[in-house]
Structure 1
Amino acid sequence: MTTATVTPLTRGTSPEHTETGVPGVPLPVRPAHIIRDDDEALAIAQSLAAQFAEGASERDRHRRRPLAEIDAFSQSGLWAMNVPRAYGGAEVSYVTLARVIAIISAADPSIGQIPQNHLGVVAAIRTVSSPEQQALLFGEVLRGLRLGNAFSEFGSKRAVDFETRFVDAGDHVIVNGRKFYSTGALLAHLVPIVALDDQGRAWYAIADRNTPGLTVIDDWSSFGQRTTSSGTVVLKDVRVPKAYLVPGFKGYETPTADGAIFQIIQAAVDTGIAQAAIAETIDFVRTKSRPWVDSGLDRASQDPYTIQAVGGLTVRLHATQALLDIAGRAVDVAVATPNAETVAAAQLAVADAKILSTELCIDATNKLFELAGTRSTLAEHNLDRHWRNARTHTLHDPVRWKYAIVGNHALNGVNPPLHAWS
């Protein structure tokens, strides 16, 4: 597959969408901020999290898209935080990147999840693209353009079985198919589409969100992660310039950190959900819960059983955060020196973090109601959003298979498989 030289995309006229299609968002009116280093990335994340937390419950309650919040998030420069320094980015460590996602997810996990595939594709471009294509696409990201997601398909036998395909048409390709679980596509400027060539190889065909034939339908009806708008993308004769055709399959032909990067971001989202649920539990018990009748205590926060339970959750949160940091350092090594050993070490470290973050996330959101009491279930508090978000997001990449790859490596020395879910 040859590529053609193409200048950066400019926004064309909006196509005629179906009745259920949603028009694309406007391009940024000014270039995004360029983050300098890891410390600045973390400081910006903390500042944004304080803003995002304010309306998180109401956005969930009314399924309101976080339009202004996502604009602020991408304009802050955090969506370009893993662009290599050689191309003008901060190239923060994956320890920092995972912490940023956990910080944002503790405020609003839907907002924390939306850039997951954007950051993963940025990492893939670093792995598989030519220097010319990297300069083009990293330039788009640095100026504030958001990449969405048109990866998964609803009706295929397995997640890796894609029916979406493209055909060569000279200086561009033409893509046809249908996608679901398209987190980020609705609010994106560019939509990476996983599509197969005539040899069955998977590429990222990165289309302008307003390209004729690309329709995003806001039909995400899950009870959790409600404002990710992770619905359907319909692709009918969508034209993509070859300069925007990224050979994603190359990231899994030999050992690379690409799969571990997609996965560590998922673990970071779950860590953030758990952190938020524990904080809500502590606040509710301190300010609203009543002590049990048999305790003889004045305040629910003095209950020794509650103290023990909160202590247990807190210790496990610290352990999860530590494992996330360990995984980030392993990913950094695998990015710098990719080989079978470093990549397997990164995958296994991320699996550890994914296991603990999943289990803590679900347990913490359950314990919230057990420890806070019946009053915490009232609709006015909307605390069930934490459980709904936890139960929904942790279904990504089943944790039982994380145990399997860790156990198979420990027992039999078998490295994890190379794909985006491992």
Structure 2
Amino acid sequence: MNDISNTGVLHARPQADAHVIADDAEALAVAEQLALEFAVGAAERDRQRRLPYDELARFSASGLGGITVPREYGGADVSFVTLARVFAILCEADPSLGQIPQNHFGFLNVIRTLGSASQKQRYFSGVLAGKRLGNAGPERGSRNTTDVQTRLATADGELRVSGRKFYSTGALFAHWVPTKLLDEQGRLIAAIIERDSPGLTVIDDWSGFGQRTTASGSVVFNNVLVDPEAILPLWQTAGEPSLVGPVSQIIQAAIDAGIARAAVRETVRFVKEQARPWLDAGVERATDDPYVIRDTGLLHVELHAAEAVLERAARTLDRIRVAGVTAQTQAEASIAVAKAKVLTTEAALNGAEKLFELSGSRAVLEELNLDRHWRNARVHTLHDPVRWKYFAIGNYLLNDVLPQRHAWI
């Protein structure tokens, strides 16, 4: 199984073979170890836009991709608290690499929620063996991200699909590519398509100035065969309460928390090692400048507040998954995660901006590539606008209006 990027370079994707992680403690320990490895070369991968094939092979071999598989299918079934921590740990090291599994875990939760017993056995066992799920994302030119026009069609008794998707984070590196389609009755479904299916092409045309190595480009389906056993009828549960949206969102918030951590850590390091004090401060070291001291303290307060609310939101999801999801508890979960998303967004953006303000003009030198922290923060936080998070929270508190049910709230 091979991939050809738009640079014309041939990449061999590793075969699935993975360790199986036993519990939450091991998941966190493995994430910490991988983060140490992934941090090495992260700046150069961003600068050169070198896609992280080798790093993802290590991710899969480590067993981290299977940590949310339910215990009855052989997985660790870690808590949402642990899942959020894992994403934050990896994204502090390299947020582009850390973002790539977002759709893998998001769709694992969809399978857990909607899949049949045979589908769960098939995909959970594959993931535990090291296989990765990608994503064929929204369609360009549509009204919004939920507007799906691509349809299944029957030809000679077989189900086929043709169409084009974008924002397909993870598809280039995947073994399976889930995508949302309309069936022949116009109903919304999800189809999980083998990555090496004839007619399926992943194009590395992501050109964002941040999150540069996520390869969040296009997927093209040209009369691709769809296995009827690989279809999830999303329409059957449309409108029913679930944690699909809040789980997707808490992953996004954790990614932003990781970006914020990296920016704040880099600020402290640079100020200690290279920054000069402002002349009016009358001090010898930047670390003695009272305004630098004050703002550095504020950065840590903002970061730790965001992390605390993120963990509180994850604990809310853990509690609701055990107790059962109702319309009211789904709303509670969405609002809890929305609060975390607001704070992690602000911590990431402010932390990346303050990196330059406190470090001074030396920090803007191109060879340092410190701007990657701001670029990553700015691009990833566009995933879902926080202005609508504020609205959802306020409308819920003032008017008892439950938030919308989709993957962006």
Q: Give the TM-score band, short-chain normalised.
A: over 0.9
TM-score (norm 2): 0.96
SS in 2 for 1:395: helix
C-alpha displacement of 1:251: 5.1
2:346 to 354, 359, 372: 359
Greater mean deviation of Cα atoms: 179-188 or 335-344: 335-344
C-alpha displacement of 1:18: 10
Give 2:402's aligned amino acid. Answer: N
Match of 2:316 in 1: 330
Structure 2, unpaired ranges of 5+: none
Counterpart-to-counterpart distance in 2, 1:137 and 1:395: 30
- State the superposition RMSD in angstroms: 1.8
Match of 1:287 in 2: 273
Match of 1:346 in 2: 333
Contact 1:32 1:143 in 2 (8 A): yes
Counterpart-to-counterpart distance in 2, 1:88 and 1:169: 38
TM-score (norm 1): 0.93
Contact 2:88 2:258 in 1 (8 A): yes
Contact 2:281 2:290 in 1 (8 A): no
C-alpha displacement of 1:167: 2.4
Contact 2:182 2:189 in 1 (8 A): yes
Give 1:99's aligned amino acid. Answer: R
Give 2:356's aligned amino acid. Answer: F
**Mapped pair 1:318 → 2:293:** no
Counterpart-to-counterpart distance in 2, 1:389 and 1:355: 16
Match of 2:79 in 1: 93
Match of 2:399 in 1: 412
CA gap of 1:168–1:141, structure 2 versus 1, over 3 A, is farther
Match of 2:15 in 1: 28
CA gap of 1:25–1:409, structure 2 versus 1, over 3 A, is farther
C-alpha displacement of 1:173: 2.4
2:189 to 182, 196, 203: 203
Deviations 1:178-205 (A, max 9, x none): 0011100111111111111123332221
Deviating runs (4+, > 3 A) in structure 1?
Answer: 17-27, 168-172, 248-252
Match of 1:151 in 2: 137
Deviations 1:101-122 (A, max 9, x none): 0000000001111000110000
SS in 2 for 1:226: coil
Match of 1:217 in 2: 203
Match of 2:289 in 1: 303
1:114 to 100, 112, 130: 100
Counterpart-to-counterpart distance in 2, 1:173 and 1:393: 35
Contact 1:18 1:215 in 2 (8 A): no
Deviations 1:343-377 (A, max 9, x none): 11111110000001111111110000000000000
> Number of matched residues?
408
2:263 to 272, 277, 280: 277
Contact 1:154 1:179 in 2 (8 A): yes
C-alpha displacement of 1:242: 1.5
Counterpart-to-counterpart distance in 2, 1:32 and 1:117: 19
Contact 2:14 2:57 in 1 (8 A): no
The correspondence of residues 37-186 of structure 1 with structure 2, limited to 5 A, is 37-168=23-154, 173-186=159-172
SS in 1 for 2:279: coil
Deviations 1:131-186 (A, max 9, x none): 11111111111111101110211211111111111124688521111001110011
